[in-house]
Structure 1
Amino acid sequence: EAGDQAPPTQADWATAAGLDEEELLAQIRVGREAKAAMITHNLKLVLSLAYRYAGRGTTVSDLVQEGVISLSRAVEKFDPTRGFRFSTYATWWVRQRIAMCAVNPLRLSKVPERML
């Protein structure tokens, strides 16, 4: 049965990717650093949209948090071969999430208290 199998190990992932484990870990590290850089360089976009929707029942900090979550999602899903600039694509994701949370504050992402 499929439920009886152990999850794949790093060695399994490396073999499937045609890399050794060190190369796989290096590629993962590069990808994570690139994602962090994309998020960092686009925070001004999140801030501008959060301030635009502020005052509608949700704090700016909550809107910024939601915006960063959606910006992270935009970085993961962005496909440069489709011909759009990243800022255009990210604006759609961030605006959609911030607008939803500004209108309905109950839809904010909840962080467990033990994580704070």
Structure 2
Amino acid sequence: MKKIAIALFTFFAVQIAAAQKTTETANPKVVAASEIEALSKAVPMDDNLKSSYATLFVLRAQEIASTTDEAKKKEIFDMYAQKLWWGLNEEQRAKLEANKDLYNKIMVYKK
């Protein structure tokens, strides 16, 4: 009877730990929404550019969430950062660079 109780306890402990781990990963759409909101406050953008960037942020967050290799995550992040960077004009890039916190959040990969 003790073995069954220990087995059940272990099973539930593992299940709870796994459930907590899956809820810790951020939803890509939520991550993208916060990034596009912060970017649009700092850098003036028209609705078309904002929509395109929202799509890029979602795609980047989804691809990063789907891989576990840190080197691959950095590669994906950097690829999308370049797309985001070159989609802005000079004035917009200057405003983004002036906002160091936002620049580091959007353009620099962190584990």
Structures share fold, TM-score greater than 0.5: no
The answer to which structure has the higher helix fraction is 2
TM-score by length of 2: 0.35
TM-score by length of 1: 0.34
